[in-house]
Every structure is written in C-alpha cells, then in structure tokens.
Amino acid sequence: MSYFCHFNAEQGCLRVQGELTIYQASATLQAFRAACASMQLTQLDLSQVTDFDSAGLQLLLALKKSAPEVQLRHHSDAVIKVLSLTNLMTELDLDPLSGGV
C-alpha cells in the first residue's frame, strides 16, 4: 500500500508516508490519537505525503487544535499546494515566504 504511518517515539516524530486523503482518514486519525496519547509527540513530518485533500487538511487542523505544541514540518508539495489555496499556511506551520519550515 502507498500509505504508511510511522511513529518514532524517541524523537517524538510521526511521519505520514504516501496519500493523506479521505481513504486514509480513519487510519490516520487512529495514529494521531495514539501518538497524542503517548504524550511524546512533538512533530509531524509531512515530507512524504504524496496526495492531500480536505479530509487530510481537517486532520491537521484537528491535530493542531488538540495539541498546539506539535510542529508540522517538511510540508511536501502536495500539502503546500492545498495550504496556499486555502490560505491556511500560517495556521499549519508553513512559512508563506520560504514554503516550508
């Protein structure tokens, strides 16, 4: 499968690989909830996200709402495209000028 969620507890880093769309939304939500529950999540690596839609966007927004301290990092092109279209770059840790943190 093109989707994979990996949580590195030591680094507190959760990485989503592949598509982050409505088809993976439930699974990703479970991963997010588990990672938050472990109290060790500090950052989310988006570099490997190949496809991104509104359901994915909502997941990131919800994550930010539940755990504002978690940093979103290494936004992939797919993510950047959606964030700039919806004008949500600052909310989701994307520097509008540099195009990534």
Restricted to residues 47-86, the positions that interact with another protein (CB under 8 A) are: 53-55, 57-59, 61-63, 65-67, 82, 85-86
Backbone torsions φ then ψ of 100, nearest 5 degrees: 160, 155
Min CB(24)–another protein separation in Å: 9
**3-state per-residue secondary structure call for 6-43:** EEECCCCEEEEEEEECCCCHHHHHHHHHHHHHCCCCCE
Name the segment binding another protein (CB under 8 A); options: 4-12, 22-30, 42-50, 72-80. 22-30
Residue 9 is a binding residue for another protein (CB under 8 A): no
